[in-house]
Amino acid sequence: MSFYRKLVLSVSGNKVVSGFIKKYGMKLGAARFVAGVTLKEAIEQVNLLNQDGLVVTLDHLGEFVFDEQEAFASTRACLDVLDAVKQSGVKSNMSLKMTSLGLDLSKEVCMKHMRMILDKAREYDNFVRIDMEDYAHIDITMEIFDELKREYGKHVGLVIQAYLFRTVDDMKRLEETYEHCNLRLVKGAYLESPKVAYADKADVDKNYLKIIEMHLLSGHYTAVATHDDNVINHTKAFVQKHNIPNDRFEFQMLYGVRPETQRQLVKEGYTMRVYVPYGNDWYGYFSRRIAESPANAFFILKNMFRK
């Protein structure tokens, strides 16, 4: 992991810094990466993206909850997303973090809420992506995903992170276990120990290309979540070489990041899905976006000095 990223993620935990950003961040530039505080604002942005040929995954932001009432409120927000997508007719599925649904309270609480959400997704023939979180939550996330996958089939998918040593083994098991295993492949954005994750960027990049190729060849649906031109071009060349049709994979990018490239991929005939977050609890997500790129930090600083 780069010194820059370590520094940003460490500083973001400072109470003074977090207090300042939470108070002024949306005005200073966080709105570039977060599609509003309300669901109505988010749906309006999804409509605009759809008009440009982009599809979407909506995410009501939130990670850690501390009681069952908060977990149910997050569950209710997810149900509202599915209702809003159905009622508005926008082209969007949904992503979520299980810590926002009570995973740290108990597996039972989280499973109860996940089943409520997936019952509705199945009713509407929609799809829910479970985000992978920090390393401490991986085993329980895998355990829950296995149970839900057996119950809900094509309506649930998972995120896999390239920077972890265990990733290839996890993917092999999933690919061999399920007939349809829709995975979003990412490099990974949490601050992890070098005992469990590659510390060097070059090693992460190498493993990322490896798992993209591996999943594409497996015949399962692959979501390549990247803003890296090298990865995008490698994927294009690989699918062409192996005659993998465009309906077996998609590219994914974050809302507010490289919008011109997103639209160019649509023009080239690829499915391009935009990860669109919204809600009040945006600070953790925003901090990770700043940690990913000095250019993102510069954008915020530039807005600060304009004030």
Token readout for 140 is 């329980």
CA–CA distances in Å: residue 184 to residues 41, 130, 132: 25, 9, 10
CA-wise closest residue to 72 among 38, 101, 95: 101
Catalytic residue, chosen from 5, 184, 273, 288, is 184
Catalytic residue, chosen from 59, 104, 131, 170, is 131
CA–CA distances in Å: residue 193 to residues 119, 145, 168: 37, 24, 18
Could you give the CA distance from residue 257 to residue 32 in angstroms, rounded to a whole number? Answer: 8
Which residues are CB-contacts of 53 (< 8 A; sequence separation ≥ 6)?
263, 266, 267, 272
Residue 59 annotated among the catalytic residues of the structure: no
CA-wise closest residue to 61 among 32, 100, 24, 20: 100
Token readout for 261 is 């490239």
Q: Are 291 and 5 in contact (CB under 8 A)?
A: yes
Residue 67 annotated among the catalytic residues of the structure: no
Q: Which residues are catalytic?
A: 131, 184
